Amino acid sequence: MGTMIQRYDLTENDFRNDRLKDHPGSLKGNNDLLCITRPDVIKEIHAQYFDAGADIIETNTFGGTTVAQADYHLESWVYEINYEGAKIAREVADAYTLKQPDKPRFVAGSMGPTTKLASMSPEVGNPGYRAITFDQLVVAFKEQATGLIDGGVDLLLIETITDTLNAKAALFAIQEIFEEREIELPIMISGTITDASGRILSGQTAEAFLVSVSHMPLFSIGFNCALGASALRPYLQVLDEKATCLVSAHPNAGLPNEMGAYDQTPQEMADQIEEYLKLGLINIVGGCCGSTPDHIRKIAEKASRYVPRSIEKEAVESESSFQPQLQPSASIG
């Protein structure tokens, strides 16, 4: 989403409306806010990914928590951001499903990691310090998930996990909502391997990460961001061997260059992802940073030629009543 938003060359005014015209400080760069101030842009981007062949789109709510929005003094806007983000995506998905009933489209409520870590100190000289508590994260994630659910998402995606304790707080918050409302939605979990050590930022290996979140019935588990498709493969192999749920991957379009841009072409990215498909490692595939609709189009074309990862039927059925007929071309945009 962020990659495509950059193409619109938006100005400060695009991040404001009548209610925000006098808001102190700059709001430019707060992409989640565009769900309210420029819903037309977000709708257009969602549609571009569906046109490219995506089955699932993510809501534009990656930073939609009070923790992240505190940087802009917009904590009170969090529910609305998530509700509107989900509503926009829902409208676009329903329109495409109506046009093509044999290819239903789905909406994943994006829940990012926030800007603070529960198990690590931001101060090198004070390792015992924590910028946020587990309970504070639960409150933040619960408000976000409530807005996403009320707005009509099909599933919840806790993504770009760098600290497993943050993810556990999100899962705890979601479970509270499920119990209070007597509902259930599928949950996708996606961690981020930060470097060649093969660990997420809080120190867990791929297998340890899987084990630490397996207490919750999951629709899928996977990895996204940080690495390109080729570098991500060995960690997906671990999940393929150990996971009893679906496995997902949405890597970056390679690694950023010295200017922070992503140079990997759609064909190059799709060729690397094809190695996952040949080995039968994944069930859901898409793209993260640097991936455009053109990348998704090439990935979907490749995926359509392969059978998705095999999983015991009873393991999938036990996780959720949500059973979309996701083909190997399922892509997250």
CA torsion through residues 61, 67, 68, 74, sign? positive
Among 76, 83, 75, smallest CA distance to 59 is for 83
Task: Report d(CA 112, CA 224) in Å as an integer.
Answer: 11
Domains and CATH numbers, the chain: 49-317 (3.20.20.330)
Task: Report d(CA 278, CA 247) in Å as an integer.
Answer: 15
pTM score: 0.93
Q: Could you list the pLDDT tens digit for every one of the 333 residues in the chain?
A: 999 999 999 999 999 999 999 999 999 999 999 999 999 999 999 999 999 999 999 999 999 999 999 999 999 999 999 999 999 999 999 999 999 999 999 999 999 999 999 999 999 999 999 999 999 999 999 999 999 999 999 999 999 999 999 999 999 999 999 999 999 999 999 999 998 889 999 999 999 999 999 999 999 999 999 899 999 999 999 999 999 999 999 999 999 898 888 999 999 999 999 999 999 999 999 999 999 999 999 999 999 999 999 986 444 443 444 444 444 334 454
Q: In what order do the strands lie in the sheet with 220-228?
A: 56-58, 106-111, 155-161, 187-191, 220-228, 246-252, 284-285
Return the amino acid letter for 86: A
